[in-house]
Amino acid sequence: MSASRLLSLLMLLQSRGRVSARGIADELNVSVRTAYRDVARLQAAGVPVYAEPGRGGGYRLLDGYRTRLTGMSEGEARALFFAGLPGPAADLGFTAEMSAARLKLLAALPAGLREEAARAATLFHLDAPGWYREPEQTPHLPLLVDAVLNQRAVEVRYRRWRAPQEVDRHLHPYGLVLKSGTWYLVAATEKGAATYRVTHILEAALGDERFDRPRDFDLGAYWASYLDDFRARRYTGTATVRLSPRGRRRLPDNVPPEVVRAVDSTATAVGDDGWVEAVIPIEGTEHACGELLRLGGDVEVVSPAELRQAMTATVGILARAYGLGR
């Protein structure tokens, strides 16, 4: 008999109100007979569980009964303090609410776990933005949070990459995503769901219109699909390159993981000096040229010809700028 399963049953009754024996069995992945025994054990332990007979009946707790969080393990107590780290909560405007929730959670825990949870909160700090970049300013984020929570349409002026660069959009906000320190708004348009970088929103205003968020919309699933599509659209071609041993070691610090994986899976030795030849994905000639030049003399482009020519032209410009090749 698992004590953790009894606690799960207690929390189930506390959160659901009335639950049938079959519902308990399905939720806890046990037999109906085991569900009956677990209810009896709770009753024997002094928990006021009673049965409501008849169609639509089931087990429920005595009205007003609430349990304290005395069944949590040390790991579970620690984990709760990672559910809302201060950085993202502050961005969303929930600093005060997060602090209050933490205080209430600490008050509900028994003394030993309270000390362990408080200690864990002092040992970890989340700093989402990457190195060599300032945190992005998101003045419109609180307004978007309001729109998402209250299902209100927004009117935005947005800066995009292609012309015309500034466009007006009428959006139904479905959710917000934090990716590597950058906030993105997922919203519905006339053409379907789309993704908008919050820092590219130049103006934003709440509209009077309210909308119904589709019940079957899964923000996590949408984002995963969006990333897959982004990767598929990102790389439009391939290039064959040669890398020195040092160049290969420097790859993870200078190119995306997809390029590193491509080198690892396609590298073949050329000569006895440790150089390898590999096929890598590229976004385009200009982007690949800038990316590969970070490796200096530790990389050589074999093909395509236009990328090799772009590398040659750039090196020539640099040579002339520094007084060489005149």
- What is this structure's pTM? 0.62
Q: What is the mean pLDDT of residues 215-230?
A: 92
Q: Which amino acid is at 41?
A: R
- Pick the closest to residue 4 from 70, 64, 66, 58 (CA basis): 70
Strands (E), the chain: 18-19, 49-52, 58-61, 152-159, 166-179, 182-189, 192-197, 201-210, 237-243, 268-269, 276-282, 299-303
**Rounded distance, CA 143 to CA 140, Å?**
5
Q: Which residue has the higher pLDDT, 90 or 52?
A: 52
Q: Which amino acid is at 245?
A: P
- Pick the closest to residue 12 from 46, 45, 44, 47 (CA basis): 47
Confidence bin at 266 (pLDDT 50/70/90): very high
The number of helices, as runs of H, and strands, as runs of E, in the chain is 13, 12
Contact 35/68 with Cβ under 8 angstroms? Answer: no
Question: Does 252 sit behind a cis peptide bond, omega within 30 degrees of 0 on the bond before it?
Answer: no
Dihedral sign computed on CA atoms, order 192, 195, 201, 204: positive
How do residues 95-118 score in pLDDT, each as one tens digit?
666 666 666 666 666 666 667 666
**Count of residues in the chain:** 326
Q: What percent of the chain has pLDDT over 70?
A: 79
- In DSSP terms, which residues pair with 204 in a beta bridge? 156
Contact 294/246 with Cβ under 8 angstroms? Answer: no
Contact 118/106 with Cβ under 8 angstroms? Answer: yes
> Is pLDDT at 291 greater than 80 in this prediction?
yes
Residue with tokens 């009077």: 208
Q: Is 46 helix (H, G, I), strand (E, B) or coil?
A: coil
pLDDT at 1: 46
- Pick the closest to residue 110 from 138, 47, 140, 68 (CA basis): 68
Q: Which residue has the higher pLDDT, 270 or 55?
A: 270
> Which of 179-183, 206-210, 211-215, 274-278 shows the lowest mean pLDDT across its residues?
179-183
**Rounded distance, CA 209 to CA 155, Å?**
10
How do residues 140-173 score in pLDDT, each as one tens digit?
998 998 999 899 999 999 999 888 999 999 999 9
Q: Which residue has the higher pLDDT, 173 or 131?
A: 173
Q: Can you read off the two tokens belonging to residue 81?
A: 């303090």
Question: Using CB atoms within 10 A of its CB, is residue 161 exposed (0-12), middle (13-18) or buried (19+)?
Answer: exposed
Sequence-distant (6+) residues with CB within 8 A of 115 are none
DSSP state of 122: T
Sequence-distant (6+) residues with CB within 8 A of 43 are 49
Q: What is the mean pLDDT of residues 119-146?
A: 77
Residue with tokens 């320190």: 181
**Rounded distance, CA 253 to CA 255, Å?**
6
H or E, element range at 294: none
Q: Can you read off the two tokens belonging to residue 185?
A: 């708004």
